[in-house]
Structure 1
Amino acid sequence: MKLNYIQTAADTKFVYLSLETIIKDILHNSLRGIPNAHYAPGTFKTGMIATFKSKTNMQKARGTIYTHYSKLINTINQYTHWTPNPYYNLEYTTNAKIYGHKETRLQLINTFVVDIDFPQFEKKLSVQEIELAIMDTTGFVPTIIIDTPKGYHCYFVLDKPIYISNNNNYKSLRVAKAISQTLRTAIAKKLPCDQECNDFGIFRIPTSDTVVSYCSQAKYTFTEFMNWSIQQGKTFTKYKEYTKKAHIVNSFQQIKQKWYKALYQTTHIIGGANCGRNNTIFTMALANKQSGISEAEAIHSLVSWNRKLTHPLTKKEVIKTVKSAYKSRFVAARSDFIDRILTIWGINKKETLPTKAIIFRKHKKKRADRRYSHSTEWEKDLITYLDKQNTSQSYFFSSKKELTEKLGIPERTLDRLLKRLKQENKIIFTTKAGRNGGLIIATVKKLLQTIIRTKKQTKTKIQICKKQITQQTIHINRKKERNYLLTKQGRYPILGPPT
C-alpha cells in the first residue's frame, strides 16, 4: 500500500499514514472485512457503497458496488468518486447502472462532507488557509481534506456513526440533514461552499494522490454537531418535508405569495451560480406543484418567464427542469432554497417573505447581571485573550495565577476549560514545572496562521533567490558573449590579456 506524506492540522508534525487507515476511519467497519465472510467483524451492521471511475460515469450512474472492505482497498486508486455513507441495499439495473442510492435507503452516516468550489479564474487557497477559515466559522477542524480540480472536499468524520431508520418519519436523517445544512451555511460565510449538492450523496474518494490533509484526532460526536447546530439557531423542524396528503389552502399557495411574484418579475438571473436559472426554475416549478397547478400549465408559465430573461435557457431545458420537479419526491419549494435565491439575486426579502408570528421568549440575563458565567463565555474570554497576545512566537507563556487574575476565572474552572479545549483541538498547551514554571499555551488558529505566514515568507525568499540567480546567469552569459566577440576581433577580452 502506498503511503502518503501528510501534514496533520493538530500538531503540525509530518507523519506517514497509509490510505487504509484513512478509509477505515471513514467507514467504521461498515463493510465486510473478508470477502465471502458470513459475518463481518465489529459492532456495526454491514452495508453497501458505490464507487465511480470518473465524473461522467457518476452522472450516468455507471459504477461498482462494494460490500467487502479488502476488495475496495485493493482497487481504490482506480476510482474518483464514492458514497462514504453506506446504504442498506444497492442493485444493478439491466443497463448496468447502479440503483438504490437514495437518502431513505441510507444505513449509516459516517461523515459530513462539504464541497468547496472556487469560481473560474479565482486562485485556490492553501490547505492551511482552508482549515483556518473553517475553524473561524465553525470551531471544527476537517478530519480529511481531499484535493479536487476546482477546490476541496472537506470530510468531518463522526466518532461513531449514526443509524438511519424510518422511525418517526426518518427523524435521525432529518436532524443530520439540518446539521449538514448548518455546517455549509456557516462555512459559506468565508469560503465558496456548494450549498446545493446532496447532503449524503456522492463525493470525491480519498486516493494516494488526492488526500492533502488528515487529522486523526479531529473526530466529533453526533451530539457535538447537534449542540453546535442548535447554538447557530437552527431548528430541526425547518427541514421537515411537506407530505403529499397536505391540504392546500388558497391563502397558502406558494405561487400566490409575494416572493414568487417578485421572482417572476426578475429578469437578470443568469447561470453559473449555485442558484442560477435551472435551480430557480426548479424551485418555481415546485411552487406550482404545491399550488395544485398542472404540469402543462407550469411549463407554459415558466417558458414565458424564461423568455423575459436577459440570458434565457433553451425551451427544451426549461421543459426538462419542470418535468424533473414534478417527478421528484418534493411537493413544495423549501424555504431555505427560496431565501438563498432571493439573497443571491438581490430581491428584498423583508417585503417578499411572509412575516413570522410574534413569539414571547424568556431572554437570558446579561453577564453583568449574573453571579456566574457560562463555560462558553469563559472559553470566549480565554481564546480572545490568547489571540490578542502580541508575542514573536506562536505560543504564549504565563503562570496559572496570572491567567486566573486577568480573566477573573476560578482556578478549577480554568483547569476544566483547558482540558476541554485541548480535547476539541482548539488549543495546545503544556506545563513547565519548577520555580519559573507555568503554562505554555497556544491556539490552533494562531499556530496555523504562523505556518501560513512562514510558508509565504519562505516562498518569497525562494523567489528572490531564483530572481538573483537568473540575473547573475544573464550577466555571466552576456560577459562571455562580449569576450567572444572581442577575441574574434583580435582584441583582448574584458578579463585582460593572457599572461
Structure 2
Amino acid sequence: MNKFYEVMDAVLKNGIRSYKVKNSKVSLPLRVEAANKTRSRKTGAIGVVRSKEDLSTPSGVKGYVVTSLETLLEDVSLVSHWNPNVFNYIRYSDEERRFLKGHEETNLQQINTFVVDIDTKKQPYTEILTAALDHSVGVPTLVLETPKGFQVYFVLEKPLFISNQNDFRGLRVAKRISENIKQSLVKVLQGVDISCNDFGFFRMPNEHNIRWFSEEMVYDFGSLIAWSKRQDDDKGRGLFVVANEVREHDPTQTAWFQELLKTRHVKGQSGQLGRDNLMFTLALACYSGGKGKGETLDLLDEYNSGLASPLRHSEVEKIVRSAYKGRFKGAHQDYIQELLNEWGSHKEIAIENPMGGWYKFKKEREDRKRSHYDEWEEDLLQYIQQEASLDQPIHWTTQRELCEAVGIPRSSFNVLIQQSKKILIKRVGKGRTAQTGITSVAVLLQCALSYQQTHRVRYKEAVDVLSSEQLNKRILIDLIEDVKWFLEKRGAKSITGKKFNSS
C-alpha cells in the first residue's frame, strides 16, 4: 500500500485534499497541518466509477465524487476507473447522487499527466518502455496492465493549471502534446488508441496492475512543448494555433532564393563558398520562412539530385538538422550576395532579407556556452545510438576519430564528458594506441530492458539506477559490470580493461 500511496501522490500533485473534511480517521494535528498547507493553493475533485460499464450508461457516467486522497486510498479496491487529472469541481446530475457531471475539459483545474491507452498485449510492457525511450518523450512514469492491454502514464514534474485565458490556450497546447505522444508511439507499437479522450477516465492503479513505476521519471512541461514543436516540424503546423496568422515575409518566395535554387554546377573549393554553404543558406531561408524540417529536406534532396556533383544524402540531412537547431535567424545577406556572384546567372537581383541572417540570437555568455554543450551532447548521443548495439553497447574508436565524426573540438569534448550525466567513456592505453570506448545511459538501459526476460532482478536494478536524475557513479559502475556479465553470457564480444568512468 505504501507503493500505491507513492503512485497516487506522484500523479495527483496535491490537486485534491490530503484528508477528508468529515469522518477522517487521521489524527487532528495531522489534519490541521495539512489544512494549513492547502490554504495557499486551490484543491479540486476527481470522479471515480466502480466498473467500466458505469462509464457508458444511458444516463451518463455512474460514479461518485472524490475530494481527498484519504478517500481514494480507502476505496481503491472498489474502484475501476478514475480521473488522474483534477477538475475544478464534479457534481451530481440527479437527486439520488448517482451520475456525474462537470468532467469536461474546460472544467479542468490542472493537468497532471498524459495517458496513452494501448488495447493489446501482443507486446510486453518492456517493449513499451523501450519504444517510449527510443521514439517518444522518454521512459514513462507509470505503466498499468489492463484486461486487454496497458495504460502508460507520462506524469508532469509540476501540474499545468488551466485557465480560460486566450480561449484555453494552455489546454489546446496540452492536447497537441498528448496527440504527438500518441502519434509517436503508434508508429512503433500495436494497439495505440489515438482517439482516446486525452483527459478522461482511465484505469485506477492498484497493487495488482502496476507493472512499472518510477517517481523520478517526470516531465517538465516546457521541455514537452519543445519536443512537440519538433514533432510538428514535419507536419507543417505550429504548436500554437493563431487565427488568421499571416507571415509578412517568406524568404523562399524571393528572387534570390529562386535564383540559387536554379544553380546546377555548384561545387566549391578551399576559400570558395560551395555546395554546403549554398544548401545551408537555402535551409536557413526555409527555417526562417516557417517551413517544416521534412518539407525542407525534400526540397534540398530534390535540389541536390539535380547537381552535377551531388552530396551524399546523409550530408544533406546533416545540413538541414544544423539549420533547424535555432542558432541562426536566417541566411546572411553578404553570403547570399557572394553565392549569387559565384554561382548565379549574374543578373542583378535585389536581396530582400529583413531577417538579417546567420546572426545568432543574443544570449548571455554563460547561456551561449551552455547551449553549445547541449547541442554537442545531443549530436554525441545520436552518434552513440547509431554506432552501438544491444550486443555490443560500447563503441570503440579513437578520440580523434570520435571528435571528427561528431564535429566537436577535443577540449570541448573533454569538458562535455566531465559534466554529462548521459554519456560514459572508458579509455584504454596511451598515445597513438589509445582506444576510447563510449556508450550512453540510454543504450545501457535498452540492454537491461531487452535482457530482463531471464534476469528480472538485474533488469530492475539497472532501470532503478538509470531512471534517477542524480546518477550515483559508484552504482553505475557496478551496473556496467553486470551488463558486461550478461553480454558475455550471450556470447557477445568480451569487454576488457578497466571499469568505465566519466573522467
The TM-score normalised by the length of structure 1 is 0.55
Compute the displacement of 1:411 (Å).
4.8
CA 1:360 to 1:453, structure 2 compared with 1: closer, same or farther past 3 Å?
same
Q: Secondary structure at the match of 2:180?
A: helix
Q: Does 1:107 align with 2:109?
A: yes
CA 1:432 to 1:82, structure 2 compared with 1: closer, same or farther past 3 Å?
farther
Aligned length: 317
Q: Does 1:228 align with 2:260?
A: no
Describe how 1:113-132 pairs up with structure 2 within 5 A. 113-118=115-120, 123-132=121-130
Q: Secondary structure at the match of 1:409?
A: coil
**Partner residue in 2 for 1:173:** 171
Amino acid in structure 1 at the alignment position of 2:12: L
Q: Does 1:50 align with 2:52?
A: no
* Native 8 Å contact 1:378 1:409 kept in 2: no
**Partner residue in 1 for 2:160:** 162
**Partner residue in 1 for 2:90:** 90
Compute the displacement of 1:165 (Å).
0.7
Compute the displacement of 1:59 (Å).
2.2
CA 1:386 to 1:193, structure 2 compared with 1: closer, same or farther past 3 Å?
closer
* Native 8 Å contact 2:390 2:443 kept in 1: no
* Native 8 Å contact 1:144 1:154 kept in 2: yes
Describe how 1:77-476 pairs up with structure 2 within 5 A. 77-94=77-94, 95=96, 96-118=98-120, 123-191=121-189, 192-233=191-232, 234-237=237-240, 361=290, 367=318, 375-376=374-375, 379-389=378-388, 394-395=393-394, 403-411=402-410, 413-414=412-413, 422=421, 427=422, 429=424, 441-453=439-451, 455=453
CA 1:421 to 1:239, structure 2 compared with 1: closer, same or farther past 3 Å?
farther
Amino acid in structure 2 at the alignment position of 1:226: I
**Aligned-partner Cα distance in 2 for 1:238–1:197:** 22
**Aligned-partner Cα distance in 1 for 2:420–2:9:** 26
Q: Secondary structure at the match of 2:216?
A: coil
**Aligned-partner Cα distance in 1 for 2:115–2:388:** 34
Query: In the TM superposition, what whole-angstrom CA distance separates every residue of 1:140-163 from its partner, at most 9, and x where no partner exists?
Result: 111100111111111000000011
Compute the displacement of 1:85 (Å).
0.5
**Aligned-partner Cα distance in 1 for 2:72–2:187:** 36
**Aligned-partner Cα distance in 1 for 2:177–2:206:** 27
2:37 to 15, 36, 41: 41
Q: Secondary structure at the match of 1:74?
A: helix
CA 1:89 to 1:420, structure 2 compared with 1: closer, same or farther past 3 Å?
farther
Q: Secondary structure at the match of 2:87?
A: coil
CA 1:116 to 1:445, structure 2 compared with 1: closer, same or farther past 3 Å?
farther
CA 1:201 to 1:368, structure 2 compared with 1: closer, same or farther past 3 Å?
closer
Query: In the TM superposition, what whole-angstrom CA distance separates every residue of 1:375-432 from its partner, at most 9, and x where no partner exists?
Result: 557524433335423685545578877743553313565467668974xxxx464779
Q: Secondary structure at the match of 1:109?
A: strand
**Aligned-partner Cα distance in 2 for 1:229–1:66:** 33
* Native 8 Å contact 2:388 2:443 kept in 1: no
Query: In the TM superposition, what whole-angstrom CA distance separates every residue of 1:111-146 from its partner, at most 9, and x where no partner exists?
Result: 01111112xxxx521111111112222141111001
Query: In the TM superposition, what whole-angstrom CA distance separates every residue of 1:51-109 from its partner, at most 9, and x where no partner exists?
Result: 11110122231212111112212222321110000111111222411111000100000
Describe how 1:67-82 pairs up with structure 2 within 5 A. 67-82=67-82
**Partner residue in 1 for 2:347:** none
Compute the displacement of 1:235 (Å).
2.1
Amino acid in structure 2 at the alignment position of 1:128: T
**Aligned-partner Cα distance in 2 for 1:420–1:170:** 40
Compute the displacement of 1:444 (Å).
2.1
CA 1:83 to 1:390, structure 2 compared with 1: closer, same or farther past 3 Å?
closer
* Native 8 Å contact 2:384 2:439 kept in 1: no
CA 1:201 to 1:237, structure 2 compared with 1: closer, same or farther past 3 Å?
same
5+ residue gaps, structure 1: 4-17, 241-358, 459-499
**Aligned-partner Cα distance in 1 for 2:424–2:215:** 19
* Native 8 Å contact 2:384 2:440 kept in 1: no
Q: Taking every aligned residue pair, what percent have the same amino acid on both sides?
A: 30
Q: Secondary structure at the match of 2:450?
A: helix
Q: Does 1:30 align with 2:15?
A: yes
CA 1:216 to 1:398, structure 2 compared with 1: closer, same or farther past 3 Å?
farther
* Native 8 Å contact 2:396 2:435 kept in 1: no
5+ residue gaps, structure 2: 22-30, 244-287, 301-315, 328-371, 457-503
Q: Secondary structure at the match of 1:455?
A: coil
CA 1:139 to 1:28, structure 2 compared with 1: closer, same or farther past 3 Å?
closer
**Aligned-partner Cα distance in 2 for 1:35–1:448:** 43
Q: Secondary structure at the match of 1:35?
A: coil
* Native 8 Å contact 1:178 1:239 kept in 2: no
Q: Secondary structure at the match of 2:15?
A: coil
**Aligned-partner Cα distance in 2 for 1:175–1:398:** 43
**Partner residue in 2 for 1:63:** 63
* Native 8 Å contact 1:132 1:445 kept in 2: no
CA 1:204 to 1:433, structure 2 compared with 1: closer, same or farther past 3 Å?
farther
**Aligned-partner Cα distance in 2 for 1:76–1:432:** 52
**Partner residue in 1 for 2:367:** none
* Native 8 Å contact 2:180 2:228 kept in 1: yes
CA 1:65 to 1:446, structure 2 compared with 1: closer, same or farther past 3 Å?
same
